[in-house]
Structure 1
Amino acid sequence: MAKLSQELTDLYRRIGELGLPTLSFAAIHLNSKGFSWAELGRERGVTYQKVNQGKKETDFLIAWIKKRMEAEKVKYVAVNISGKGDLEELGAGLWLKLDAVPLIDRRTKNPSKRRLDWLARRTQTKFEADDVVKVKLKSRNQVEVAWLVRSQEYEKVDKKWWRRLVSQAEEFGSKKILFINATPRGGGVAMMRHALVRLYKLIGVDARWHVLQERAEAFEVTKRKFHNVLQGAAGRGVSLTGKDRQVYEAWIGENAEMLKPVIERADVVVIDDPQPSGLIKFIRRWAEDKKIIYRSHIHLDSKLINRSGTAARRSFEYIWANAKKANVFISHPMLEFIPKVVSRDQVVLWGAATDPWDGINKPLTRAQTNYYLKRFNKILLEEGQEPLDLTRDYIIQIARFDPSKGIEDVLEAFRLLRAKMESKPPRKARLRGKPQLVLAGHGSIDDPDGAPIFNLISGLVGSQRYRHLKDDIKIARLPAVDQILNALLRRSKVALQLSHKEGFEIKVTEALMKGVPVVSYNVGGIPLQIKDGVSGLVVKKTGNTRQVAEKLYRLLTDKRFYQKMSRGAKREAIKEGLTVPNAAVWLYLANKLVE
């Protein structure tokens, strides 16, 4: 007990030495004379202040809040905003300048001190213990999407695409588009849907997003017998069984009953990936002429699917029995992802998207970046790992802990890189110490592989092969706070994406947008995102970790070459892979279907 007590004391001491600010939640109400302010700290009660200066300009308010934040040594997680004036302008300023989530409140008119205190307390209840926004599911599992910025912020990113979006929205009019997927958080699909529906709300498009009911045994089937098998990443002996079908069909039937009223009201229904594909037969039963889009987000191994007798063939035939009833089959822009059985007349090729203003991409100040890197180090300390040394360079791979992500290859390439640096040391001026490795990603409720793969990789790091590098390898499953990934990417020297199977990896685009060169395998849609030798380096043969190490060595030791790659990364990041073009294309397709 004494040893455990001492270890806990040491842990708390080291976390305290990080110097993380106190977290606080606030409420501000604007009126004709000035504004009222209340805030709630985790370690203290509510404080209240009334400011009668007659100034409500956003710049003044942001400066006042920032000054208070610095004086009190707090980090405002979220602020409830009510009253008179341009609440959206203030909200966007809070998110983009102070990194505080804005909660626009149109109902509160003239709050008393007690009411404003209550609003500050209520703001805190919208977050989980680790300051992750609670995803609210409304009636029939409709996802409530948070407001972050105004339409003006999106318009200035790309005015040409913005005009196209507005034109398509006007044509779509009062019609309704419905998106259905497995989960409201975790993975690229959920991130894209949050951004897409948020933007549609800003421009008045009736877009709704619903998710399936959570059920562990059903997700075992959809992840391991659908997703992994279709990618050719499931391993020997894994195949869809009769019992699996029974589990899936019972679950999808319950979801169909729950979603029927929502589906019947929609003009266009989008089915994201295999998990909700079983809904299509119900939709056709209810309304034969309903416009349905099936969106495949994964790397379908068509060679396996096309081969008779394979597990991939059996899984795809089962899914395709429903998916073929959709009007359109959308795939990432790789013809090799499309099995022979899919009619080319149904196919639309289309990449994934990321959002310029969400937590993983929005600009961060140096202080904000440092804060989130300290948050990352706190997570490492709590996991029993040494903190990331921020005075040294590091290489990063951000991905789910999944069999297809090539994480074992990342470890081996890092070992070979460090061995080469020992045998052929670079000049000190070219490198900030020996490089470290970061392996990080979010989990998802529909992914039962996450914890086992994380534990497997953790065990490998502690094995004899990698033990000498253990303190320089950081591995973490992160809470759903996107700014941690944003900060990690921005400070990284090089990003890796050594997936063995991959659709269109949006983390590649997100790294390039920040000027971080990417080293990847020539897999799936990744070569469409990286210009080899311009914005990153592509290793032709999957599994060639020695060549990965060689390319890393050059990027880390050849300063002029690295700077060229970094400039190329920013320049060549796919501009069409952002939310506004993505939203415009969705509406273009919907308009064509309902003509």
Structure 2
Amino acid sequence: MPGQDRHQMLFGPENSPLLQVGFMGLVEVDTDFHVCLTNLDDWKKTVSAKTWEVCNFYAADLKKRNVKIAFFSSTPQGGGVALMRHALVRFSHSLGTDIKWYVPRPRPGVFRVTKHKHNILQGITGPDERLSADDRKLLSAWIEENAKRYWTVPGGPLSSPAEGGADVLIVDDPQMPGLIPVAKRLAPRRPIIFRSHIQIRSDLVDQPGTPQAEAWKYLWNNAKCADCFITHPVSAFVPRDVPPDIVGYMPAATDWLDGLNKNMRDWDVAHYGRIFNAACKNAEMPTIQHPDGIFDVLDAYEKFHNRLTRERPELRLPKLLICGHGSVDDPDGAIIYDQVVDHIEHRIPHIRHLICAIRLRSSDQVLNALLSKATIVLQLSTREGFEVKVSEAIHKGVPVIATRAGGIPLQVEHTKNGFLVDVGDTDAVAQHLFDLWTDEALYHRMSEYALSNVCDEVSTVGNTLSWLYLASKLSKGESVRPRGQWINNLAFEECGVSVTPEMPRLTRAVEMEDP
């Protein structure tokens, strides 16, 4: 089937038919490519002609030299890293480049420890919560067990290239840096890239004796063996131990063709809306007939509700929707959800009928339908790396009210496609909600700007371009020293293609400090 119908049919309700983990932990995207979801013409339409040209320039070089690239991350499903890798491997297969993606076998207790480590590095745990010796031992044993059993054998991705191993390795999140010294022992000259996807409180890391300093020391003892350190485009995410010349910036990406983002027909939206409302009824939550930092969201919405009913009683009250299907490596999701429901029922019962908070079964199309019909999106994170949901909302022309946290200010242009507020400033959020809901001209101006200013760097093609550039350079034995530059910029410069003013770009505020 051509176009949209093909995508609609093959992205099933839970995507489960397309998810397989095979021999050696290889993630077999699209049932090992027996299912065809997209073609190159589909991808080409999602980006500018120059981005497409540069991407194919590096793809041609890698194909000519038969370069093999291997990504390693902790889980094959749930969370932003997995979403990006599914899309990247799918696009790579269409291009003809050799990119494979591996995940370890799960082990009891590991995800609780990795989540705890993330929370420590992000500075959201108590001062006495630390990564214990037992935690470090568990993580190290998990990595070593998977490496020894699956990946270091002849022909495994960590074995030397002479034995069939990959030519370039990317360790794709802070859960698995223990792989880096293992791979370096097997092939000391093979290039390895470490990709950090989380917000690291470098200010706390730099204070000796803090939980953050201890957790970072464990991570960095392994990651320092890598040739490049790639992170979100925020300088405050990089501890001072990391040599500045190996630091490169790359935003998180999303895929405009997948079930989360593709254009949906009205019939499709209505169908998945019915599925969503059935889930709401089962959870005893109000249904959404007109789909229009969580506790800050609730506080801001209550203030907005009170003002709207007082000053503009003739206007319909929009409902507040808080939903998602979580990640398999996030054990805190259920706990937070229970706290949110308790807050709604006991602290703001007078507006309970207007708030739907629900955990959904995994279904990209349901989330897509809800975002497609949303009027305003709130992203009130207290800590954040680079939230692709912000980019996805902007791509649909939905204005975003978001906090000045982490990489979010790189995505939202204040007063153009949304509003930026300080963390915890729920009064400002309520004000912006009121303005967008009551000022039709303001709303449409922001929506139109969002639709016409979507950046290629947050797309699958733009993201793949950066990875292909790094693999092309490193696999030739050439040194890559980004020195705090955006990888996408380096890729364009290397092949002599200029970035033109009409190409939308993310804000280059890389020196921005976390408030």
With normalisation by structure 2, the TM-score equals 0.87
Q: List aligned pairs for 1:137-536, cutoff 5 A.
A: 137-146=21-30, 147-158=36-47, 159-173=49-63, 174-224=66-116, 226-257=117-148, 258-260=150-152, 261-264=156-159, 265-390=165-290, 394=292, 406-425=293-312, 427-428=314-315, 433-463=316-346, 465-536=347-418
Is 1:584 paired with 2:465?
yes
Could you tell me how far apart the structure 2 residues matched to 1:131 and 1:195 are? 13
1:548 is aligned with what amino acid? V
Q: Secondary structure at the match of 1:519?
A: strand
Contact 1:267 1:290 in 2 (8 A): yes
Larger displacement relative to structure 2 (146-155 or 194-203): 146-155
Contact 1:252 1:276 in 2 (8 A): yes
Contact 2:285 2:358 in 1 (8 A): no
Give unpaired runs (5+ residues) of structure 1: 1-89, 103-126, 395-405
Is 1:101 paired with 2:10?
yes
1:143 is aligned with what amino acid? V
Quote the offset at 1:240 in angstroms: 0.6
Q: Secondary structure at the match of 1:476?
A: strand
What is the total number of aligned residue pairs between the two structures?
459
% same residue = 39
1:237 is aligned with what amino acid? D
- The 3 A distance-change label for structure 1 pair 131 and 204 is closer
Could you tell me how far apart the structure 2 residues matched to 1:476 and 1:95 are? 29
Contact 2:127 2:210 in 1 (8 A): no
Normalized per residue, the structure richer in strand is 1
Could you tell me how far apart the structure 1 residues matched to 2:436 and 2:273 are? 23
Which structure has the larger Rg over C-alpha atoms? 1
Contact 2:73 2:172 in 1 (8 A): yes
Quote the offset at 1:576 in angstroms: 2.0
Quote the offset at 1:144 in angstroms: 1.1
Q: Secondary structure at the match of 1:538?
A: strand
Q: Secondary structure at the match of 1:183?
A: coil
Could you tell me how far apart the structure 2 residues matched to 1:299 and 1:426 are? 42
Quote the offset at 1:254 in angstroms: 0.8
2:435 is aligned with what amino acid? R
Q: Deviations over 1:329-379 (max 9, x none)?
A: 001111111111110111011111111100111110011011111111111
Quote the offset at 1:131 in angstroms: 6.8
Could you tell me how far apart the structure 1 residues matched to 2:332 and 2:24 are? 27
Contact 2:174 2:197 in 1 (8 A): no
Quote the offset at 1:427 in angstroms: 4.5
Q: Deviations over 1:490-534 (max 9, x none)?
A: 111100000001111100000000000000111111111011000
Q: Deviations over 1:58-98 (max 9, x none)?
A: xxxxxxxxxxxxxxxxxxxxxxxxxxxxxxxx3645324xx
* 1:6 corresponding residue in structure 2: none
Q: List aligned pairs for 1:550-569, cutoff 5 A.
A: 550-569=431-450
Q: Secondary structure at the match of 1:446?
A: coil
Contact 1:410 1:498 in 2 (8 A): yes
- The 3 A distance-change label for structure 1 pair 422 and 497 is same
Q: Secondary structure at the match of 1:515?
A: coil
Q: Secondary structure at the match of 1:317?
A: helix
Larger displacement relative to structure 2 (378-387 or 489-498): 378-387
Quote the offset at 1:287 in angstroms: 1.3
Give me the CA root mean square deviation. 1.5
Contact 1:293 1:326 in 2 (8 A): yes
Q: Secondary structure at the match of 2:157?
A: helix
Larger displacement relative to structure 2 (259-268 or 183-192): 259-268
Contact 1:216 1:446 in 2 (8 A): no
Contact 1:143 1:210 in 2 (8 A): yes
Contact 1:436 1:473 in 2 (8 A): yes
Could you tell me how far apart the structure 2 residues matched to 1:131 and 1:164 are? 31
Quote the offset at 1:306 in angstroms: 1.1
Give unpaired runs (5+ residues) of structure 2: 31-35, 160-164, 477-515
With normalisation by structure 1, the TM-score equals 0.75
2:300 is aligned with what amino acid? A
Could you tell me how far apart the structure 2 residues matched to 1:95 and 1:213 are? 32
Contact 1:91 1:148 in 2 (8 A): no
Quote the offset at 1:150 in angstroms: 0.7
Quote the offset at 1:216 in angstroms: 3.4
Could you tell me how far apart the structure 1 residues matched to 2:318 and 2:442 are? 18
Could you tell me how far apart the structure 1 residues matched to 2:239 and 2:41 are? 41
